[in-house]
Amino acid sequence: MIRITIRQCEYFRAVARTGGISSAARAIGISQPAVAQSIDKLEEMTGLVLFRRLHARGMELTAQGTEFLRYTNNIVDCAARAGEAIEQIADSRAGTIRLGCFQSIVPFFLARIVSGYRERSPGVVLQVAEKLQDELISALQENEIDLAIMYDLGLDPNHIGWTGLSAAPPYLIVPHGHRLARQNSVPIREIAQEDYILFDAPGSRDYFFRIFARHGIGPHIAFRSASIESVRCSVASGLGVSILSMRPVSNQTYDGNRVVPIALQENLPPTPIVIAHRADSRPGDLTLPFIQYCKDVFGDPHIKPS
């Protein structure tokens, strides 16, 4: 393999552009012998005749030289782009963040985060994976992702570090026309009399069961789903009531029906939403600005999860 250097390509381009050794040397601020030796060495290494030496009239590209110029232009331009990329990486303006996100949070925030940060930091690539809670924890610990937007449902600080983003208080949803639909708030014991639609995602399931146990109720579970929208559609269709944390902007469901959100009178613990990382891998110059951006997005009053 012929190992030509970027410097040789730059000197060759200068001679091709100016038409002579002396003029090329002046243009790039290098001595004439250095340019001449570089061209001679380049022709020796490649076995090509790159120039016709016209003596008093300078140097003229041969057919081989003209063809070779196309490639040297690519090499030098590529080297310049690589240099710019190195500076961006060194300044943490470029790189890849491997981001995981809990599945029920994805529809509310992820598209805005990705599109907004792409506009703000075009040199940063977000590789996004949608996962369940246990999968996110495992992916962080196995170094498969750098950050995870998830719930703090008993995270272990010995293994996971995190920054708080928001807290979503639980609320009740009932079908339109339900006996409770006109109430501004109700006690949680009211659901003991109702068929219940359970949001059955791992982690979330345990969170709701702890609430039931704390208040001594055991609602009859008529249907389970790991999809928030499936839960909402089931409630809107009259199959039961449910408690959720994340609240869509509209009360209309996918199937065209509607749910009625109602506040719960008890001071129930909210579900903390956090952006997490491995405890032994603290955020650096690349990820810290992204974490701050996520805090700004979740802090926007127009898109709060409650």
CATH of the domain at 256: 3.40.190.10
Domain limits for position 254: 170-264
* Residue 1 resides in a domain: no
Cα distances (angstroms) measured from residue 91 to each of 88, 114, 115, 124, 238: 5, 21, 22, 12, 56
What percent helix, strand, coil does the chain show, rounded to 5? 45, 25, 35
Say how far apart CA 261 and CA 253 lie, in whole Å.
12
The pLDDT of residue 268 is 87
Say how far apart CA 104 and CA 88 lie, in whole Å.
34
The pLDDT of residue 78 is 85
pTM value is 0.66
Say how far apart CA 236 and CA 259 lie, in whole Å.
5
Radius of gyration of the chain (CA): 32
Q: Nearest to residue 231, comparing CAs of 210, 246, 216?
A: 246
Q: Which two tokens stand for residue 64?
A: 């081989």
The pLDDT of residue 304 is 45
Backbone angles phi, psi at 73, to 5 degrees: -60, -45
User: What CATH number is given to the structural domain containing 12?
Assistant: 1.10.10.10
Residues 157 and 99 in one domain: yes
Query: Mean pLDDT in runs of 10 for the chain (306 residues)?
Result: 83 89 89 90 90 83 91 85 65 78 91 93 92 92 95 90 91 96 95 94 85 92 94 97 92 95 91 93 88 89 47
Residues 199 and 240 in one domain: yes
The pLDDT of residue 305 is 47
Helix (H, G, I), strand (E, B) or coil at 144: coil
Residues 75 and 221 in one domain: no
Residues 58 and 114 in one domain: no
Say how far apart CA 290 and CA 110 lie, in whole Å.
13
Domain count, the chain: 3
The pLDDT of residue 4 is 85
Residues 163 and 180 in one domain: no
The pLDDT of residue 271 is 85
262 contacts 186 by C-beta, under 8 angstroms: yes
